Each structure stands twice: as C-alpha cells, then as structure tokens.
Amino acid sequence: MSEQEKAGGIPDTQFAIQRLYIKDVSFETPNSPNIFKENGQPEMTLNVASKSNKLDEKVFEVVLSLTVTVKMKEKTAYLVEVQQAGIFYIDNVPDEHMGPMLGSYCPNMLFPYAREVVSELVTKGSFPQLVLAPINFDALYLQQQQQAGQQKAH
C-alpha cells in the first residue's frame, strides 16, 4: 500500500500509451486530373469523431476519426479519411473522469499523428499542404454529452 493510500488519499493515477497506429486510411481524388485546372478558393469541411473500446480491465483502444473534404466549385478535389488509434493503459482514475479521459484527453493525444497523416497524403496527392488547426476536444466531448442527454430526454 502506498503512503498516499495509507493516508486515506486517492491512489496515484497511472496512464501510459502502449501503442499508436493507423487503423484505417483513405485518400481519394475523384476529379483528377481535371481538378488541377480549377481556379478559385477551395472549401474545406472537417468531420471529427472518436470512440473507445475496453480491451482489458485497465486497457482501452481509442480511435480518432478525421474526414477532410475539399471542394473546388462544387467538385470534390480530394477526400481524406484517417482513423488514428491508440492503446492506453489507464488505472486509478475515478469513474466520473473516465469519460473525459477517453473522450477528450486521449483523442487530443492522437490528433497530432492524424494531422500529420492528413498533411502527408494531401501533399503526395499534389495539392497544397494542408495543416489542420488545433481542435478543442474538451468542447467536443461536452457537446457530445449534451447531445446524448437531449436524445435521452426525448
């Protein structure tokens, strides 16, 4: 028993990244090569989602999904889909903190890796470099919780 437990405190939280990997990736340029002739300002949409799976009592897989669609004059220039995943060891985290840990903290750790994959694929597709702006995963998690609460209320 640790000194903190003897003193009646909460045991030390343990968190470790066991593995980071790309679970799925897709890059499409449905209108190439003609799209390279288009001029104008591209329009980008970004969809973000995450999910978690319990693999063991203290081991979780978290998957961050990014879908980037860029259009030029209503034509799709490219579509990138990335599922960046990680396996995380999490112990001694109170139940009320597990949701934010899996729904915000872990996706925040995965995002730089997913952003790098998106940037590399876009560049290799012969398009101007795309670096996605940071995402506030705390706000996204809260929004998902509010939507889930509203759906239960109906």
- CA–CA gap between residue 36 and residue 22 (Å, rounded): 29
Strand order in the sheet with 59-72: 14-28, 75-91, 59-72, 43-54
Tell me the pLDDT tens digit for each residue of 95-110: 999 999 999 999 999 9
Q: What is the pLDDT of residues 42-56, one digit of tens each?
A: 999 999 999 999 999
pTM above 0.85, yes or no: yes
Angle at 56 between CA 50 and CA 61, to 5 degrees: 20
Q: Which CATH class, in words, describes the domain spanning 10-153?
A: alpha beta
